[in-house]
Structure 1
């Protein structure tokens, strides 16, 4: 009978500091795992297993929704639906990138950093996808014909570049200044979200306008609440901070953070779909849809800027002498 030998797991004091997670004492994979061992770990209970599956399974759900939307859309002629398709595509990219990052992050120290650089780039691509969809369907009535909306997507592109660079840079501070590293990364994710959500906040808290008073508002509220909960879990390291070692495999904050992020994306998708359907007549009469050139230029600029940041910081890992890296981690 065939038997499969699973890779050995390690405690926190058996792996380099770069792999340490606060409050997680056991379940670490070998810090120089092979790619095959990383894939095999998907079917072994480690402290990363649920981090992988809580984004890998939703990826297939979001991909199914995206393909379904493609099949029922006249892509060539229905320019009104283009922003929604872009958003749905980017909502597939970030969970796939995250699951891959968590899967292969134990191959080496540098591989760990590069995996998460790519993860940050995917998150920011999704941020831009959200901005494009918000610009097309979610803006409150009073802001549709303003300069704010005219430059909203362009500044969202700028934010993605700055956010990717800041989040990548924060990883170089983990060893010596872990608190500052976490703060910078949290800010790098928070401010693009705040910028993207400004028209939504105006709609929820100030004056939505007649066309924006619809069933989508409830989903926007749920999405906002779930995003705030996800942010809290990401920064607080609860519950594992209160009981180190008890949530190594199931229930630690990053797993809960992943679940909240996926639920937030689901609520956001439902809200945007409702806005797209219920406000279509008003939006088409009141404003021009984003052109294919505008959407393509925004996406291309985001990809180029983000990949530029990722390449730069990845190269910086190899420009730093190994001895210096070790000194910083001790």
Structure 2
């Protein structure tokens, strides 16, 4: 039964397979949601595994901003680092306030997906640092990929498998597309050898990305032992940890590549860097606004 015993209605549709206990009461107030972050429930570590790294990335961002803003060569990296701060913050907020209402839960996770969409756009903001030659100029419109990620939330109850498959494909495709320059570079280094110090970091990032996808799709370990990992160790928490580790390794690798390659390869202009992110953010917010119109309004009591 995918619903919480004793509860009825759409607000009782957020029960996860294999997670039996620890759910917060539906229609909790925002204050109750904040208090719940300091009591153990099945969302506590989902929030903190992203909130704490977000603070670390923000600390890195202000450091790079203070020393690097006068240098236009740092701007693409700052844009990417900004998206690294945004997506764990959005995820933390979505997990923290999801029980406020069914509408708030859907909108919160739509904003979470938007932040991930912007992160996938920020990844190739400096293609020359990660790729090789002609493979360093790839671009894709991530906003078109956000739509198959947001719309399946409306099928979450009726078609849960289709909803999950659509969301996974919406994230996997842009990752593979963005990583084509990196995969080409790793292949070149493996075939002919290279002295790039960032290669081990890129390999760690790729491994973390693979593990993140595998854990999210398999729902291990709670699928094998329902109820045993309700509070600590379920797949979404592990998924968060490997996702953040992958971002950390990626940041380290890219900063190393930036130091080694910035004099050899052209950089995108400030308009290409910040303009593309701005347009993507605007389009993403428009998508959320349109989709929110289809969500039912909460009834007043």
Short-chain TM bin: over 0.9
Q: Give the alignment partner of residue 19 of structure 2, picking from 20, 24, 28.
A: 24
Distance 1:251 1:27 in 2: 13
Q: In structure 1, the residue corresponding to 2:26 is in which secondary structure?
A: coil
**1:136-185: CA deviation from partner (whole Å, max 9, x where unpaired):** 411114535xxxx1xx23x2xx1x21222111111111111111111000
**1:217-236: CA deviation from partner (whole Å, max 9, x where unpaired):** 11000000001000011111
Q: In structure 2, the residue corresponding to 1:175 is in which secondary structure?
A: coil
Total equivalences in the alignment: 294
Where does residue 223 of structure 1 map in the other structure?
205
Where does residue 132 of structure 1 map in the other structure?
125
Distance 1:293 1:22 in 2: 45
Q: Give the alignment partner of residue 169 of structure 1, picking from 139, 145, 151.
A: 151
Where does residue 245 of structure 1 map in the other structure?
227
Where does residue 79 of structure 1 map in the other structure?
72
Distance 1:307 1:182 in 2: 22
User: Is 1:110 the equivalent of 2:103?
Assistant: yes
Q: State the TM-score, normalized to the length of structure 2.
A: 0.93
Distance 1:25 1:195 in 2: 37
Where does residue 282 of structure 2 map in the other structure?
304
**1:236-275: CA deviation from partner (whole Å, max 9, x where unpaired):** 1000011111100000000000000000000000110110
Where does residue 242 of structure 2 map in the other structure?
260
Shift of 1:207: 6.0
Structure whose CA Rg is larger: 1
Q: In structure 2, the residue corresponding to 1:27 is in which secondary structure?
A: coil
Q: State the TM-score, normalized to the length of structure 1.
A: 0.85
Distance 2:254 2:124 in 1: 11
Q: In structure 2, the residue corresponding to 1:281 is in which secondary structure?
A: coil
The 1:14/1:254 distance shift into structure 2, 3 A limit, reads farther
Shift of 1:187: 0.1
Shift of 1:210: 9.2
Correspondence list, 1:11-160, <5 A: 12-15=4-7, 16-73=11-68, 75-76=69-70, 78-133=71-126, 135-141=127-133, 143-144=135-136, 149=137, 152-153=138-139, 155=140, 158=141, 160=142
Where does residue 264 of structure 2 map in the other structure?
282
The alignment's C-alpha RMSD in Å is 2.0
Q: In structure 1, the residue corresponding to 2:22 is in which secondary structure?
A: strand
Query: Structure 1, unaligned stretches of length 5 or more?
Result: 1-10, 323-330
Q: In structure 1, the residue corresponding to 2:248 is in which secondary structure?
A: helix
